């Protein structure tokens, strides 16, 4: 699973819309959507903000424990 697919899955599992996530981390909904749709690169600092929303470590967004 790609990181972007993982982001979308985690967001939906927590019941957040793209608009809600963007608001929580301080970016535009368009920018957040572009990250999830592989049009923008997910940088580590943004991953840290997203991870904080989900009470996760940033590495958990990038890597899947099997």
pTM comes to: 0.86
Instruction: Label residue 42 by pLDDT band (50, 70, 90).
Output: very high
Distance of CA 18 to the CA centre of its chain: 9
* Tokens 């592989």 -> residue: 38
Q: Which domains does the chain have, with CATH numbers?
A: 3-61 (1.10.260.40)
Residues composing the chain: 66
In this predicted structure, what is the pLDDT of residue 1? 66
CB–CB of 4/38 below 8 Å?
yes
pLDDT band at 4 (very low <50, low <70, confident <90, very high): confident
Handedness of CA 26, 27, 28, 32 (dihedral sign): negative
């Amino acid at each position: 699973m790609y990181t972007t697919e993982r982001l979308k899955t985690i967001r939906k599992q927590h019941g957040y819309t793209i608009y809600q996530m963007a608001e929580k981390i301080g970016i535009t909904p368009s920018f957040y959507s572009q990250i999830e749709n592989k049009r923008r690169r997910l940088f580590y600092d943004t991953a840290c903000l997203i991870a904080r929303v989900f009470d996760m470590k940033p590495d958990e967004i990038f890597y899947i424990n099997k």
